[in-house]
Amino acid sequence: MHSTMSSARDLARVDNDVSTVLAFLESVVSDPARLDTHIDLIEQLGPYWYLCRRLAAGIRLLRIASETCSRGGCSARTSAMVTACLSAASAFSQQTAEAHRHLTALSPDDLDAAIVVDDQDPDVGCRRFAFLALASWTGDDHALAGIFAQRAWDALVTGSREAAIVTATKALCELTAGNVAEGTHHAHTALALGAELGDPLAIHLAAVMLGIRALLNGDTRMGLRWNDQAFHAYLDAGGVQICDTVEQRGNHLAAAGEVNRAGRAFAVARTYALDAGMEWPRHPFTHDAIRRCRDDENTAFDQGWRAGTADARDALVMGDHERFAGM
């Protein structure tokens, strides 16, 4: 997560030359020797595929890499890393069946044995487990997410630059496991660490966790405040795939009885997700929230939905993702 591809500037640099990057990777993923040589770069690109709305391209390349590994000629480390990368990309795309198959193909001990032993930087293995925890959490395999999050936590060393992202990941998994008090404590710790370390993605994740807690508690005012912070931190991290954060806002607005605004938010989230080839909805609360809105004020919801769809299509053309802040 907090890798050479983690800053907004680096993400933008890759995306500005994406055709060259993709052409280079095309030449790598079908060649076992080149795949062995460049596997660490491929892993570092993991957050890029989601944050910059390139998941479809990433999954396609990683599937080719997986086929290359299956034919032999690649090291065990490369094969394990390709499996981990493909599992994460599939999970973030909500292709849960494929994600689960790859996520469970290697145990944390298998990953340690195949990969971590050759890591030059001790933070790399810690970051990898945090990334896999987030992928498992997104792919609704919460038990596995907790296992990966604990592995990242155990690998964390004092003063690590990964402390904020690992702590935020642990907070999300604790909330899902029902450990609300511990999760809340770790979320607030992650917010402080994220500010100290300059890690906006960790701030985003912590705010998402606190927003979910507020939603479960029926506190829509605080939920919207946490959603605002999550949205701005996500943009600061260089993220442009705003579907998850805006969908969460739709759930807060629906719970608050803001039916028209909820319709607009849900439509924006759906348009962004489908435009990137992702499944939608992505949150477990959304189906019920939409049904309640339609039952209560179907006309107002439809008006918001049409407006949000038009706004999102325009924003995607213009690259103006910031317009949805505070919507």
Task: Report pLDDT digits (tens) over 305-322.
Answer: 999 999 999 999 999 999
* Alpha-carbon span 229 to 234, nearest angstrom: 8
Percent of the chain with pLDDT over 70: 98
Q: What is the dihedral of CA 230, 233, 234, 239, to 10 degrees?
A: 170
* Alpha-carbon span 312 to 78, nearest angstrom: 39
* Alpha-carbon span 119 to 69, nearest angstrom: 20
The confidence band for 3, taking pLDDT boundaries of 50, 70 and 90, is very low
pTM: 0.93
* Alpha-carbon span 308 to 7, nearest angstrom: 29
pLDDT in tens, 144-193: 999 999 999 999 988 899 999 999 999 999 999 999 999 999 999 999 99
Query: Tokens at residue 70, please?
Result: 């299956």
* Averaged pLDDT for residues 276-300: 95
pLDDT in tens, 251-260: 999 999 999 9
Percent of the chain with pLDDT over 90: 84
Asked if residues 17 and 25 have their Cβ atoms less than 8 Å apart, the reply is no
Q: Which of 227, 205, 231 minimizes the C-alpha distance to 215?
A: 227
Q: What is the pLDDT of residue 2?
A: 38
Q: What is the pLDDT of residue 234?
A: 96
Asked if residues 44 and 275 have their Cβ atoms less than 8 Å apart, the reply is no
* Alpha-carbon span 294 to 300, nearest angstrom: 8
* Averaged pLDDT for residues 206-215: 97
Other C-beta atoms within 10 Å of 310: how many?
Answer: 14
Query: Which residues are within 8 A (CB) of 163 and not within 5 positions of it... i.e. 6 or more apart?
Result: 156, 193, 197
Q: What is the pLDDT of residue 117?
A: 76
* Alpha-carbon span 268 to 265, nearest angstrom: 5
User: Which strand (E) or helix (H) includes residue 294?
Assistant: helix 286-318
* Alpha-carbon span 42 to 66, nearest angstrom: 12
What is the per-residue DSSP string for 178-242? T-HHHHHHHHHHHHHHHHHHT-HHHHHHHHHHHHHHHHHHT-HHHHHHHHHHHHHHHHHTT----
Q: What is the pLDDT of residue 112?
A: 84
pLDDT in tens, 37-91: 999 999 999 999 999 999 999 999 999 999 999 999 999 999 999 999 999 999 9
User: Which strand (E) or helix (H) includes residue 82?
Assistant: helix 76-92
* Alpha-carbon span 62 to 308, nearest angstrom: 33
Running DSSP on this structure, what letter comes out for residue 283? S
Measured between alpha carbons, how far is residue 186 from residues 157, 166, 214, 248 in Å?
Answer: 16, 10, 15, 21
